[in-house]
Chain A
């Protein structure tokens, strides 16, 4: 209370003094000094009194801490000599308080002989009086090592330092437990490495946290490290992504494993393979916090092909049989007309085996019938059973036989219950010996091969059974292919119509104008794939506080559905942004939009299993920070002024539409001048060339390593680079690229592009000039003029400038300066001053007209200013247009 009054008085006096200072009266001034001196003495006295009181309070507090804390505590003076220690200290280190009182801590509490560890307990160099924290090992009185967390804190009262307080937290046990856990984990992972199956673990965001050796081998990556940190989705082939998301969503919804399902994967080199995957949740308190699973089929496939190989080896002993297999194989793979294939296969079977007839039957979709699809008998007088249906209903034995997926030989087929469905077909007197080989596709019986032996008493040999099984596996796969093919054909018409509708929907929803942000630039590129696949980008201002949304999304599906979902997503983002446009806290705004969009999709469209990876950023132009949520989207790259990657904006949550359960975290990144964010969809990095090579994130990063002068320049360059990578190969997926750049302070803002001086690049040069003009918002007349001018000058450089030499680059740079649009076109070829060229005679008759000089004439006629210079081998043509 005293203190407060004193402070009030002091501040009052000071105000008074300040008022008096303006009075130039000496006596008044002296009086003021006297009063001040008096107050100083009173204040000093008061402070001392306070200090003593505080010290007493402090000591009381400290002794309370000392006796009750579970930590070992030492109190020292400023020289590090112990003034107090608690009981716990005695227990941990074995010293009594009396033994160490007055001793320097560093003298008795020594470090263990661990390299690189400080033996100081007190940091005298701790100038800034910050608390010091370290994990170290100290020796007890009996030289036993103890691992401790050591906090050193200077002990202050007011401004006076009394010494130090040292807290020692014994963590030996914890460390032991941790290292045991680490060893267990390592052992566990070692065991996983010995598995034949590919094993993985992934976090709730779908990013791989662990993969086994087999997983690395199967996906053809170089190392575990290369895969860990990657999103699982990148290993899933495009057309399996929807299934992948659906199944993983189920896991998070139910916290239970899902039924094994088939998935198509894509290896690092772009090959696809399919196999079965088993996934179960990693549970924490009963809730899924991640997933682990096995890609099972790899080993089984290896086994299957091993068996096939063995069977083939066995068959090689019979050269004629091998030839038969080849014939069957050829037939099977030659065309896709299923019945045609099967009937010729039956002929082959009847020729290879000592049989009277051979038939292939398939199980109907309701699994109640067997339909005889092909049948061949060596006796032309025999009845042909093709097209007949064999009833399975009620034939338990026959059904069991089918489900067993085992080949059998039935010696008395006419009376055996297992062959009841064909009893009617087996004519003639006496016994009948039948071999039945199941057709197994994707783990399920889809039909059988049946053959009746010529000799009723014949017992099929094991080698013959194996051979029949080998052929059966080929037939099964051809049946599968044919069925798939039929489905595809049917779907194709529908898909084609889908495609057109989807494309129309998609194209109408890109922003016509990107927002103009003072000191910033946004540029975007989108190239649709032949198929509609639901990429989209958007950028718009929210409210009037300088918040700008930047959105890039990739809907994990194709066709009309994807396009509609894309439109929904875009509208949701726009409307939730608008709804909350007055929000002043950008993080709250972002959270509001992201949460509502995600919840809406999950709650309203949860059943449709639509997902989208989404990068949603809001730029706060007032502090140059971008706040973002990244829902499972490829991590955007932030590059500096020189194009070097500073950071990746990794996913902060799972894809949108996945679950409402998971919180979407907000990331933040600050832009310094010249920084540029590149947001892209996997259509870019996974764009393939004709050799099947991906464009890849590595290439993207390498190509970005340039000193950019605008976002548009970078986007344009990457566009040309990606398209040239794809070449004639058909583009499979949409490509979307958005760049957000804070203008540099070191460089003049301009749009620039360099390309090789080759005829093939002429359209790109023109296109660049036109688009750069649009960026600068100049009118169509000027745009058209500059398009022609740029084309004429570039053509001359290509034809004349690099005549007889290796073509170098042509650089086109465009900027606006004082209401003038400047274009600089530079090259390193032969000098060619357009000024020196004589103008063509436009009055001459057709036969006398000169062929050359027309291009330069156009340029001179149409632009406001043309100049040319050649310095140190660099030729520059400058064109100016008044705006």
Chain B
């Protein structure tokens, strides 16, 4: 898994590429925590390049969305690929986070 970060205005876009599992999810969590502790609260998870995620990925998204919301921000999901979409639906995770087709839409959603 590879993580990269892009700051668009007040929104931190975290791109996650490759495969997200029980080994890589903790790395992602600590990456998120570092941003979070620096005061960033508005996040977009860019999942264009995320081909696979296990339940560990859902736990990460769940935990970080909860943390962000508690500080008045949010974690929104963009460009979900088929396998990830499948487990989002199965866990009804898509009911509790906002999922967007593209990164732009997810970023712009913070301006409205």
Contacts and interface: CB of A to CB of B under 8 A. Distances in A.
B54 A788 contact: yes
A760 B23 CA distance: 7
A475 to B, nearest CB: 48
A843 B92 contact: yes
A787 interface: yes
Interface string B67-93: 001000000000000010001001110
A792 interface: yes
Interface in B14-72: 19, 21-23, 52, 54-56, 58-59, 62-63, 65-66, 69
Contact of B87 (A760, A788, A798, A799): A788
B62 A849 contact: yes
A854 B69 contact: no
A354 B25 CA distance: 72
A403 interface: no
Contacts of B54: 788, 791-792, 795, 855
A857 B93 CA distance: 13
Contacts of A795: 21-22, 54, 56
A486 to B, nearest CB: 37
Contact of B91 (A766, A845, A846, A854): A854
Contacts of B91: 840, 842, 854, 857-858
A857 B92 CA distance: 12
A846 B98 CA distance: 12
A759 B23 contact: yes
A760 B24 CA distance: 9
Contacts of B87: 788, 858
Most chain A CB inside 10 Å of its own CB: which residue of B21, B55, B58, B90: B55
B66 A846 contact: yes
Contacts of B52: 766, 787-788
B96 A762 contact: no
A459 interface: no
Contacts of A787: 52
A513 interface: no
Contacts of A760: 23
Contacts of A26: none
Interface residues of B, number: 22
Contact of B69 (A759, A798, A840, A846): A846
Nearest to A794: B22
Nearest to A853: B55
B63 A851 contact: yes
Contacts of B22: 759, 762, 791, 795, 798-799
Contact of A845 (B19, B55, B90, B96): B96
B67 to A, nearest CB: 11
A256 to B, nearest CB: 59
A528 B51 CA distance: 23
Nearest to A767: B19
B72 to A, nearest CB: 15
Nearest to A862: B90
A784 interface: yes
Contacts of B62: 846, 849, 851
Contacts of A843: 92
A160 interface: no
A789 B65 CA distance: 25
Contacts of A798: 22
Interface string A11-42: 00000000000000000000000000000000
Contact of B55 (A763, A792, A847): A792
B60 to A, nearest CB: 10
Interface secondary structure of A, over-half rule: helix
Given A842-B92, A846-B66, A858-B90, A791 B21 contact: yes
Contacts of A339: none
Given A762-B22, A795-B22, A847-B66, A855 B96 contact: no
B87 to A, nearest CB: 6
Interface string A832-856: 0000000010110111010100110
Contacts of B63: 851
A143 interface: no
A382 interface: no
A79 interface: no
Contact of A854 (B58, B65, B96, B97): B58
A861 interface: yes
Nearest to A788: B54
Contacts of A846: 62, 65-66, 69, 96-97
A843 B96 CA distance: 9
A838 to B, nearest CB: 15
Contact of A851 (B19, B59, B90): B59
Contacts of A791: 21-22, 54
B90 A861 contact: yes
B58 to A, nearest CB: 6
Nearest to A849: B62
A766 B90 contact: no
A791 B21 CA distance: 8
Nearest to B86: A784
Contacts of A762: 21-23
A548 B55 CA distance: 45
Contacts of B96: 845-846, 849
Contacts of A845: 96
Nearest to A861: B90
Contacts of B19: 763, 766
A791 B91 CA distance: 17
Nearest to A791: B54
Contacts of B59: 851, 854
A843 B90 CA distance: 12
A435 to B, nearest CB: 63
Nearest to A843: B92
A792 B87 CA distance: 12
B85 to A, nearest CB: 12
Contacts of A763: 19, 21, 23
A829 to B, nearest CB: 15
A845 to B, nearest CB: 7
Nearest to B1: A763
Nearest to A842: B92
A61 B59 CA distance: 98
Contacts of A759: 22-23
Contacts of B66: 846-847
A849 B93 CA distance: 10
A846 B66 CA distance: 7
A681 B99 CA distance: 49
B88 to A, nearest CB: 11
A851 B90 CA distance: 15
A792 B58 CA distance: 12
Nearest to B56: A795
A488 B94 CA distance: 56
B23 A854 contact: no
Contact of A784 (B55, B58, B65, B83): B83
A853 B86 CA distance: 17
Nearest to A846: B96
A380 B4 CA distance: 59
Contacts of B69: 846
B100 to A, nearest CB: 18
Interface string A751-780: 000000001101100100000000000000
B62 to A, nearest CB: 6
Given A784-B83, A846-B65, 19 more contacts: A759-B22, A791-B21, A792-B54, A792-B55, A795-B22, A795-B54, A798-B22, A799-B22, A842-B91, A842-B92, A846-B66, A846-B69, A846-B96, A849-B96, A851-B59, A855-B54, A855-B55, A857-B55, A862-B90
10 closest cross-chain pairs (CB), A and B? A795-B22, A855-B55, A759-B23, A854-B55, A842-B92, A846-B96, A791-B54, A762-B23, A762-B21, A851-B59
Interface of B: 19, 21-23, 52, 54-56, 58-59, 62-63, 65-66, 69, 83, 87, 90-92, 96-97
12 contacts: A759-B23, A791-B21, A791-B54, A843-B92, A846-B65, A846-B69, A851-B63, A854-B58, A855-B54, A855-B56, A857-B91, A862-B90
